[in-house]
Amino acid sequence: MLNKLWKALSIGIVALLVTSSAVLAVTYQSTIQINETLGTPWDNLPIIVDINNTYLANNGYIDSTGLDTRVTSIGGTKLNHLLANDKTLFAIDIEANSITKVLYTFGNDMLDSFPIITGIGGYVTVADVDPDLELGDVFQFMLYNICLDTTAGAGKFIIYKEDAIDFSVDAVTDGTITFTVVGGASVSASIPSATYNSIEVMSDGTDLYLYINGTFKDSDTWTITVPDTGTPWIFFEGSTVKYIESLELIK
């Protein structure tokens, strides 16, 4: 069974570290200006801009799904982006003390889907109400094209379910991620910050495996099932995930 976890996402945005402004033009595009005034370069920084996308959809500027929109550099390079009813989010590299302009365009070819961009301090939660999300002892997580901040720190979760699953960045060692089944098995691997990778965690009922970009990294033997704790799933907490194309749970 394939469960698309991002269908029931609740996205929380906590902070925006640069200022943004947008002015709609009659040519069905918006110019967004980003002013970096902190003197800090940013790698793949999530930007959140207040834009009334509901109005644009209701008045025929964009498709009701928003999938015909793009965010690009002035030179036309496509940036990863995500729409909410009243916000447009995208990720971009920003130089210190710079002014950067991008274009928000309408009427493009339809995308298949949006990636997940949570913003600085944002995260995703899914309530524990669907029995199909209980892992048991045979499961597979696929995280496609994910960009992580793997600087060591506490509470930097990729996937977390209290007293059940802890998939996180190591609290002490930079560049290390560990997937732990509470009371069961644990697998770890090294992965550098700010790189795009696909990660697979798989259990066949007796062994837990970790792969990065299709390459085996670690395994551990276990004999229990993942506990059904009734606690919510938490994804991407602690500003850990800068970007992810998609997340799948296969059972």
Q: How many residues does the chain have?
A: 251
Q: Supply the pLDDT for residue 22.
A: 56
CA dihedral 221, 224, 225, 231 (to 10 degrees): -110
What rounded mean pLDDT belongs to the chain?
Answer: 86
Model confidence at 15: pLDDT above 90: no
Q: What are phi and psi of 225, to 5 degrees?
A: -100, 160
Q: How far is CA 67 from CA 28, 63, 115, 162, in A?
A: 15, 7, 11, 35
Rounded to an integer, what distance in angstroms lies between the CA atom of residue 161 and that of residue 231?
6
Q: Note the pTM of the prediction, 2 decimals.
A: 0.76
CATH topology of domain 17-105: Immunoglobulin-like (2.60.40)
Q: Supply the pLDDT for residue 217.
A: 98
Taking only the tens place, the pLDDT of each residue in 116-150 is 888 778 888 999 888 888 899 999 999 999 999 99
CATH entry 3.30.413.10 includes domain 2-9+122-250: no
Model confidence at 2: pLDDT above 90: no
Q: Which amino acid is at 115?
A: P
Residue that the structure tokens 């207040």 belong to: 50
Taking only the tens place, the pLDDT of each residue in 26-67 is 357 889 999 999 998 988 788 889 999 999 999 988 999 999
Residue that the structure tokens 């947008």 belong to: 22
Domain with CATH 2.60.120.200 in the chain: 2-9+122-250
Residue that the structure tokens 């690009």 belong to: 72
Under DSSP, is residue 133 helix (H, G, I), strand (E, B) or coil? helix
Helical (H) or strand (E) element with 55: helix 53-58
